[in-house]
């Protein structure tokens, strides 16, 4: 993806930033496990470079109930066959998959924009799963994020939001979005009311869609659960 630029995009990203302050390994590939219920309909918007990102409502209208970037090191890291060290040192082994909060300025975004960089496993186990602490979903909660490649990366991936239920059963394919370098960014805004009053462990998932996972450095810009 070419470097994100343009005054209009920066203004929109500032709108995103203003709301933020600075188990077990699945026994089979999670996408093959049947879902426990029908998923909600995903809403996504492809964002050409000449258009703005959809603004996030101001804090006065709601709250950030779960900030996936801030809680990265509280998550459990897995690929399709291994548990991984959480938040390893920068020069540690990244072949099993890796995630890190990065400086938004490196992606031409304003300071304070939460940005999560994820890379899938390159050691034959494919994918990366970040399982977050248990969270009780309320009616009207929404998952929001902007998805794309890191600058200079020729990524071809599937982003997904999945979950474990209170019985530790994996949801299987829940919500997903495919993205390839050169496409318009994807702005995601999904109503999670189908899970209302359930306690779940959300999982941010990245699956390579090519034979070169080492090129699949991918960005989750301001991924969060918004509560009106």
pLDDT at 26: 52
Evaluate whether 143 touches 225 at the Cβ level (below 8 Å).
yes
Per-residue model confidence (pLDDT) at position 45: 44
Assigned domain for 217 exists: yes
Which two three-digit tokens encode residue 71?
């809680």
Exposed / middle / buried, residue 34 (Cβ in 10 Å: 0-12, 13-18, 19+): exposed
Compute the Cα dihedral for 192, 194, 196, 201 and give only its sign: negative
- Residue 2 within any structural domain of the chain: no
What distance in Å separates the CA atoms of residue 178 and residue 34, rounded to the nearest whole number?
Answer: 20
- Tell whether 66 is covered by a domain: yes
Query: Is residue 39 assigned to a domain?
Result: yes
* Per-residue model confidence (pLDDT) at position 68: 98
Domain count, the chain: 1
> Which residue in the block uniquely carries the two structure tokens 């600075």?
22
Q: What is the pLDDT of residue 61?
A: 81
Q: What pLDDT does residue 34 have?
A: 31
Per-position pLDDT tens, the chain of length 228: 434 433 333 334 434 444 444 355 554 444 333 333 333 334 444 433 333 343 344 444 899 999 999 999 999 999 999 999 999 987 889 999 999 999 999 999 989 999 999 999 999 999 999 999 999 999 999 999 999 999 999 999 999 999 999 999 999 889 999 999 999 999 999 999 999 999 999 999 999 999 999 999 999 999 999 999
In a domain, 20, yes or no: yes
Which residues contact residue 204 at a Cβ distance below 8 angstroms, ignoring those fewer than 6 apart?
Answer: 68, 75, 116, 118, 129, 130, 132, 159, 160, 161, 220, 223
Establish if 147 belongs to a structural domain. yes
Which of 89, 55, 35, 96 minimizes the C-alpha distance to 226? 55
Q: What's the pTM? A: 0.78
Structural domain boundaries, residue 149: 7-227
Q: Is 197 within the bounds of a domain? A: yes
Cα–Cα distance measured from residue 157 to residue 166, given in angstroms and rounded to the nearest whole number? 29
Residue 1 belongs to some domain of the structure: no
Give the domain CATH number at 196.
2.60.120
């Amino acid at each position: 993806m070419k470097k994100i630029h343009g005054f209009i995009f920066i203004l929109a990203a500032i709108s995103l930033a203003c709301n933020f302050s600075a188990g077990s390994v699945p026994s089979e590939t999670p996408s093959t496990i049947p879902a426990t219920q029908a998923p909600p309909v995903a809403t996504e918007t492809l964002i050409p470079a000449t258009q703005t990102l959809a603004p996030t409502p101001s804090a006065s209208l709601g709250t950030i109930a779960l900030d996936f970037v801030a809680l990265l090191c509280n998550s459990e890291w897995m690929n399709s066959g291994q548990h991984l060290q959480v938040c390893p040192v920068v020069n540690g082994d990244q072949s099993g998959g890796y995630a890190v909060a990065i400086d938004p300025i490196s992606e031409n975004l304003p300071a304070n924009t939460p940005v999560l960089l994820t890379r899938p496993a390159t050691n034959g186990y494919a994918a990366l799963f970040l399982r977050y602490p248990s969270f009780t979903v309320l009616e009207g909660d929404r998952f929001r994020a902007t998805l794309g490649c890191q600058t200079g990366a020729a990524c071809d991936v599937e982003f997904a939001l999945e979950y474990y239920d209170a019985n530790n059963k994996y949801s299987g394919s829940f919500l997903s979005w495919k993205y390839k370098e050169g496409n318009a960014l994807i702005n995601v805004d999904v109503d999670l009311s189908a899970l209302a009053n359930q306690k779940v462990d959300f999982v941010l998932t990245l699956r390579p869609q090519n034979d070169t996972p080492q090129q699949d450095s991918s960005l989750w810009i301001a991924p969060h659960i918004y509560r009106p």
